Structure formats: C-alpha cells, structure tokens
Amino acid sequence: MKKIASLFLVSVFAGAITLGAYKLFFEEESYRWVTSEQEIPLVTTSNLDTSARGAGINEVDFTLAAEKTVNSVVHVKNMTLSRGPSSIAEFFYGYERQQTPQVGTGSGVIISPDGYIVTNNHVIANSRQLQVTLNNNKTYEAEVIGTDADSDIALIKIDAEEALPYLAFGDSDNTKIGEWVLAVGNPFNLTSTVTAGIVSAKARSLSPRRSQSFIQTDAAVNPGNSGGALVNTNGDLIGINTAITSQTGSYVGYAFAVPSNIAKKVVEDIMEFGNVQKGLLGIRGGDLNPEAATELGIDDLEGVYVSSVEEESGAEEAGLKEGDIIKQVDNIQVSKFSELSGYLSSKRPGDRIEVTLKRDGKNLVRNVTLKKRLSVELPGTGFTVKNLSKADIKKFGTSKGVKITNVPAPYARYGLENKIIIELDGEPINNIDDAKERFGQLSRYGRTSFTMINEDGEKEHMILQ
C-alpha cells in the first residue's frame, strides 16, 4: 500500500513540474491588461442602429424604387366589340351580327409629364374606348398614338390638368443577370402591386419563328401586369412586362419583359416618324449548338452562324460572307441569335455598327451601315418577298413590284420563287410596303388574284381562294 502511495505522489510531483516548466519557458502570453475604468461584458451586443435593409453586404432597399414607380404606373381599361355571331343560326344564315362589348385590362407606364404612356400592343388592340386610371384614382380617356405588333409595344396619351409623375428609361443593355428588379402593375384589377425578383436571363426568345429578345425575371407577374414597369433598385425603367409562361394562366416562376432600349426606340420612332424604323443587318443565320456545329464542320458553339447574305444589304456591302460567325456587335457579346436581334431592334436604318466575326479561324472586324427592311412576309399567304435589286430591275425589265424569295409548303409545288408580283386584284404593287398593306386587307374567305412576271419576262396570273 505504501508503495502505491509513493508512486502516486511521485506522479503528481512530476506532472506539476512538467506543467510549470511548459508555462514558464514555452507558452506565449495571451492576456491583455484591463484598466480600472474598463469592464469585461459577459454578453456582447451590436451597437449599430437597426436597419430595415439589414447590415449585410448584400443589403437591398426596395422602398425608394417602389415609391418612385407606383405613381407612374397606370391601370388601362380597353373596351372592344366582339363581332362574332352569337348563335349557330347567325353563322349559317347570315343574320345581322350583334356586337357584344368586352372589357380587357392591363397596365401602362407614364414616360413624360404631359401624359405619354407606354404599354403593350395586346393590351390596347382593337380598342373602341380606352380609359386610364392613375394611382390617385383619377380617370382619363386615352388615345392611341401608335403601335408596333412585332415588339408588342404601343404608345397612348392622356390629357391631364397637371404635370404627371413619370419614369425615365434605363439602359437595359447594362442589366445584369442576378440583379434585383421590381415588377409594378395591376394584376387581377388590383392597383399598384409591387413584386420583387431577380433578372433570371437576358435575350430570351420564346418563339423559334419570331425574332424576340426578352428580359426574363422571377418577379411575380400575373394577368393585368402586361404593360407595367420592370425597374431596377434605382427606379429606372428597364423593361415593359409582357408575358408569362404558364400552363394555368397565372404566374409559375417565369415572366418576360421587353427591354427598355427596344421600347424606347419604338416609342421614339412612333413619335418622330409615325411608324417603326427597323435597321437591318441583312443576313440569315441561326444559333450554334453541338449538332449544328458537327453538321457544319466547325468547332464554335457560341455565336451566330451566317447562312446567307442578302443582296444590296449593309452586310453584303461590308463584306460579310456565308459561313462567318458573328461574335460581337459594338460592345455586346453575341452567343445566340436573340442577342443579335435584340441589339439590332434598338437601331435605325443608317446607324453604323461594328461587327466582330470569325472567319477561317481568324477574328475580323467589319463596320456595317444598317439599311431599311428589304423583305417581308405577306399576310395570309406566308410568301416572303423583297424589294427589287438593281440586278432584278435589269433582268425582269420592271422597276416596280416585289420578288418572291420564299414560299410555304402549300404553294411550293407551283414554282413561284424568284417571280415578281406586280399587281394584286388589278392594283399595282410598287414595293414591300404596298405588298404588305394590300395582302393584309385580303379576306381569308374571299378570292384574289395577282399578276407576276417570270424570268422569261412573261406575265402569269394566279388565283387564291
């Protein structure tokens, strides 16, 4: 027993000597002196003022942008008349059709103190009467100044007694993915509803048949928001809310807005020219993907592949060729066709742009002057026609008319391509503007005929019914 006790005492003394030696020779000082005036708190608390925004580096304050926006966003009420037959008997026996009033609603954004308002074309389409209600509940009759169905933008105006609050256009090209945005509008006839989200994508196209370039956001947008404002946290207008993708008809996570640079250009064109001036590059092309790249025998997966260049276009004059891959226009990187078309939608004929392209593995820069639209698709037929080039005028012996460049499947077997349409129902066709207007007036149930000149200079007639 004594032996065990002795060993225990030796162990205790050895441990004490070891600990003392470590403390004396090896451990660094980690204490600090505390003066008599200082106290050591048991629990530390922040002495920063409480902020509604939070104290993080990613703090965001929506209140100023919302206050700036809500009074500039209006409620638009559109009354139209339905002209369809109200019964089967009217449809078959041609009784007088009853016109049933229908009311649609949407939103709009005041863009000037004297009452100009931008909204969606589909919000005011076929209107017989337009009413605009401000956030202060004042109501005014509105008139349509101009519309553009391609961009789905319309300009309307009200006459108010006082200067109105309005929003300034921001630069949508500078909008970044992940940036906070607010959507302000009148969904479900509710006034001045504000929702928040981020920019989910840019240059988003919703249809392979149309040249579109939307800002995509996850801010909640519902029926009635159309024509309302998409603003950044500064309260700058960066888009006009236009569409949602939904199987239910209500918001499910994605909404789309026309970029402000496009909307601004459309509005300015309507105010200055009465219609939209579109500056065209003059190419046909498409996106690159692994399948397309493999088929074309190229390595690039980003950019716009030029499949053809139109005659007498700015692209042809600048030396662009089939097989080129467009990588950049001015300072805008181009990885897909919607990015190119979106940027060009903010330009006019005569504008000069710098195109960076890749050809045979080399990067080239070409300065291109954009020109007026050279071709259109004719309503009701689907024909694509273009204005006559100098070569066409010489070859066909006519300076008036439009050349058919593309024909849809139902008419492909008639060999209509490369023929010149000179008359429609006896009325002369001078250019693509004439052709689009005249074909747009045709009845889908009527019978029409047009006169063409073929490559041998012979006149041909075709009847559509």
Query: Around Cβ 320, how many Cβ atoms within 10 Å?
Result: 24
Q: Two tokens at 281?
A: 């590059």
3-state secondary structure 11-76: HHHHHHHHHHHHHHHCCCCCCCCCCCCCCCCCCCCCCCCCCCCCCCCCCCCCHHHHHHHHCCEEEE
| 231 in Cβ contact with 237 (< 8 Å) | yes
**Active-site residue, 425 included:** no
One of 226, 313, 345, 346 is an active-site residue; which one? Answer: 226
Closest CA to 422 of 462, 391, 390: 462
DSSP states of 274-307 as a string? SS----B--EEEEE--HHHHHHHT----SSEEEE
Taking the C-alpha atoms of residue 330 and residue 317, their distance in angstroms, rounded to an integer, is: 18
Closest CA to 239 of 261, 255, 254: 261
One of 72, 75, 122, 213 is an active-site residue; which one? Answer: 122
Q: Tell me the sheet residues that pair with 352.
A: 369
| 258 in Cβ contact with 153 (< 8 Å) | yes
**Active-site residue, 152 included:** yes
Burial class (CB in 10 A: 0-12, 13-18, 19+), 23: exposed
| 167 in Cβ contact with 109 (< 8 Å) | yes
Q: Which residue has tokens 């909640």?
A: 220
Query: Around Cβ 280, how many Cβ atoms within 10 Å?
Result: 18
One of 72, 151, 152, 313 is an active-site residue; which one? Answer: 152
Taking the C-alpha atoms of residue 257 and residue 268, their distance in angstroms, rounded to an integer, is: 19
**Active-site residue, 461 included:** no
Taking the C-alpha atoms of residue 132 and residue 106, their distance in angstroms, rounded to an integer, is: 10
Taking the C-alpha atoms of residue 446 and residue 380, their distance in angstroms, rounded to an integer, is: 11
| Distance set, CA 100 to CA 81, 86, 233, 251 (Å) | 5, 9, 43, 29
| DSSP symbol at 371 | B
Query: Around Cβ 138, how many Cβ atoms within 10 Å?
Result: 14
Chain centre to alpha carbon of residue 420: 35
| Distance set, CA 223 to CA 185, 206, 243, 249, 288 (Å) | 10, 18, 9, 8, 35
Catalytic residues: 122, 152, 226
